[in-house]
Amino acid sequence: MISWHFLKPVDKPVTTPLPPAEVLHADLKLREDKRLYEHGSGEPFSGLLVENFSKEARKLEIEIHDGKAHRSSGGWFENGQIEVEETFVRSVSNGRRIRWYASGQKHSQAEIVNDAIDGP
């Protein structure tokens, strides 16, 4: 009789998704179909749109899918303090928008539905 107790099930390899392509805002173009494209590309851009104050300081990050803002976005003051966090669904603001002052104190928080503040 063969003993199989020494065999372990083979685990599926762990795959970590690659980070989205990071492209500078200046390297993207908004076309008539209201989608962003990398210069010279025929396909709508998917990845991370970024803008920087300098090599060390990020100004803006927006997740882009199929040429449209989709999921999270964030903006920062030049001092590195977060300025705004917002969520988009196919380029329409939906969800919680939080804004801060450059000092780090919260300025405002609102629920956004289809690009409009929900509530008074």
> 48-117 maps to which CATH number?
2.20.110.10
The two structure tokens encoding residue 91: 């380029």
C-alpha neighbours within 13 Å on the C-beta side of residue 109:
3
Q: What digits encode the pLDDT tens for the residues 2-35?
A: 444 444 455 556 565 666 689 999 999 999 999 9
Tell me the per-residue pLDDT of 36-85, one tens digit each, with 9 for 90 and over.
Answer: 999 999 999 999 999 999 988 999 999 999 999 999 999 999 999 999 99
Write down the domain spans for the chain.
48-117
The answer to pTM > 0.85 is no
Task: Count CB neighbours of 90 within 10 A.
Answer: 11
